[in-house]
Every structure is written in structure tokens, then in C-alpha cells.
Structure 1
């Protein structure tokens, strides 16, 4: 998934995925002191790191993207230091694709090596 060249603000740690657009907007405003109407992407992940939501204002309404992994998890930063982390869109794509890459890398090695 490609998002263009918008700044990306990642919510470190976990977020309650029951929050919809209004709840995530409030989180962006109050917890991060950012404007949810900015030309940016705001990214949230659940406790199990198998679901993400991305909030985006497009000028006349909000988009809420949602991805649920069937296997694996996203490599997500903890909230030990900062509440948010700034990324670019390329780094966001790598983060989203990290679960797919981990799945590819964890394939079991072939034990039989016969040529028929």
C-alpha cells in the first residue's frame, strides 16, 4: 500500500482498536497534541500487534484504513519513551510489510534434497 509523501505519525505502544474515527481523532488531539485535520497519516496498533488502523483526512472527510493479520504480527515500537514516532511513507510501507517478510523468512527448510 502506498500513501504518497505525507508525514506519518505512529502511536507507539498499543491502542484500543474499538476506537473509531472520533475516538482516534481525540487521541491525536489530546494525547499527541497534533491536528487530525493535518495532511498526515496517523497509525495505531492493537496490543497483540496483529491489527492496525490508519486515520487520514483528505480535505472533505476522514479515511480509516484497517488491516488484520491472519498470522504473524507487526514489528511495533513500545511506548517506553515517546508517545509518537514520526516516519515517512516508505518507512510506513516497510512496517506494514514487515509481517509478510517475517512470514517468508520463517519458512521451514527443505530436509530432503533429492534429484529425481
Structure 2
């Protein structure tokens, strides 16, 4: 969690072969999983947000092999401390023929 903007952008590019200038949010967490940073390029510069949770921990991947793309819904669940494998609360509507 010591890397700044340049270090995180280089890490994204070198370790994962991804473009830090793309329209993506890159999340990073420390080993304690009670804090995270995210890096985002908004078109004219990088934004880096740092957050420390006062109560609880993130449901974070255990290693780099578990790194993956998240949907907006999964990102919201992760940042709310929920598991990424949420069961559906209400089943999707299926039209039935009478």
C-alpha cells in the first residue's frame, strides 16, 4: 500500500499488461484487507482514492491468480464488504404463456 500514482500505473502496466489510461478502475488492497486504493484515469489525469475501513474487511481475492474484471454490481458489493458471489434475492421475471 506504499505505491503512489506512478507506481500503481506502472504495476498495472507491467504486472498485468493492462492499460492504466483505459476507462477502468484498478483496485488494490493491503494484506490486512481493511484498506484499499483505487486508480482511475479521467481523461486529463489520474485520481487515486485511499480508504481505510474502521469496521470490517473486504472480501478480497487471495492472490494474483484470482484477479478479475468486475461488473458495476460486483464492484459495489465488494466495496460494501459483501461477497462477490451473491445469490439473487428476487428471481428474474420470466414471461409465462397462459
Scaled to the shorter chain, the TM-score interval is 0.7 to 0.9
Higher relative contact order (CA 8 A, sep 6+): 1
TM-score when scaled to structure 1? 0.67
Task: Give 1:92's aligned residue.
Answer: 75
* Structure 1 residues without counterparts, runs of 5 or longer: 1-16, 100-116
**Alignment size in residue pairs:** 82
Distance 1:80 1:70 in 2: 25
* Structure 2 residues without counterparts, runs of 5 or longer: 83-98
Where do residues 1-116 of structure 1 align in structure 2 (5 Å cutoff)? 17-79=1-63, 81-82=65-66, 84-98=67-81
TM-score when scaled to structure 2? 0.78
Task: Give 1:11's aligned residue.
Answer: none
Q: Which runs of 4+ in 1 moved over 3 A?
A: none
Distance 1:22 1:38 in 2: 15
The secondary structure found in structure 2 opposite 1:98 is coil
